Amino acid sequence: DSGVTQTPKHLITATGQRVTLRCSPRSGDLSVYWYQQSLDQGLQFLIQYYNGEERAKGNILERFSAQQFPDLHSELNLSSLELGDSALYFCASSVVDSFGGYTFGSGTRLTVV
């Protein structure tokens, strides 16, 4: 157990729907990162939050949004889902930034049908 908790582990939903993925960081970590992993694109950085504030943004689609709450857990919201959104979504956390690396959760496997 890495200490980063992601729920749900698996999610199957239909095109056009909206889902929310949840992440609880390791105790003491203030930064949360979201990554998408697909077979053709590999691990792609989506967004980082630090202590409730957005800190860095990657190629995150406008249909996707995230937030970090006062208790430091984070949610990634995916809307108007398309088949191509099927992927593994990972959350990671670190104390501040990635200097020294960060810890990943076990991921949420999203399947859009």
Query: Which residues of 39-99 form beta strands (DSSP E)?
Result: 42-50, 53-57, 64-68, 74-78, 87-94
Assess 50 for contact with another protein (CB under 8 A): yes
Assess 94 for contact with another protein (CB under 8 A): yes
| CA–CA separation, 51 and 69 (whole Å) | 8
**Interface with another protein in residues 3-42 (CB under 8 A):** 4, 31, 33, 35, 42
Side-chain-side CA neighbours of 109 within 13 Å: the count stands at 3
Binding-site residue total for another protein (CB under 8 A)?
Answer: 30
Residue 11's identity, in one-letter code, is: L
Assess 64 for contact with another protein (CB under 8 A): no
Rule CB under 8 A: choose which of 18, 43, 77, 80 binds another protein.
Answer: 43
Assess 2 for contact with another protein (CB under 8 A): yes
CA-wise closest residue to 77 among 34, 7, 38, 19: 19
Give the footprint of another protein on this chain (CB under 8 A): 2, 4, 31, 33, 35, 42-45, 48, 50, 55-56, 58, 90, 92, 94, 96-107, 109
